[in-house]
Amino acid sequence: MPDYRLAVAYRFQRLRYLDRRPLTPAEKVAAINLCDPPIEIVAAVDHAMHTSKRVFQSITVAAVTSADINRPYPLLVLCGPWGMGKHDLRHRLLQEYSSMFASWWVGARSLVL
């Protein structure tokens, strides 16, 4: 088990020696970061995972029912954190499928609850 020392150091936090070697402060910090990471580390790892996933995914638009006088426009809601490309996607959709979409933009800062 590659993280054996860190797992034992986390379980027994007052332990000073393991396998006849002293546990260093760096190992104790690494043990906490591995077994019970701070929220900042969890958020950073989560952000990196979703950002890398976004880079490798192609954006496709499936065919939908086109709008006419008897049928309203299909509703498409783009939501997500700042900086994920919602604005660019909206403009791309409006350019390529202008007959199928109308656009309204409501930013999070403009909402009044």
Give the tens place of pLDDT for each residue, 7-63.
Answer: 999 999 899 999 999 999 999 999 988 888 889 888 888 888 888 777 777 666 555
Instruction: Count other C-beta atoms under 10 Å from residue 15's C-beta.
Output: 14
Give the pLDDT score at 112. 44
Give the pLDDT score at 111. 45
Question: Domain spans of the chain?
Answer: 1-57, 61-108
- How far separated are the first and last CA of the chain, in Å rounded? 51
- pTM for this predicted structure: 0.39
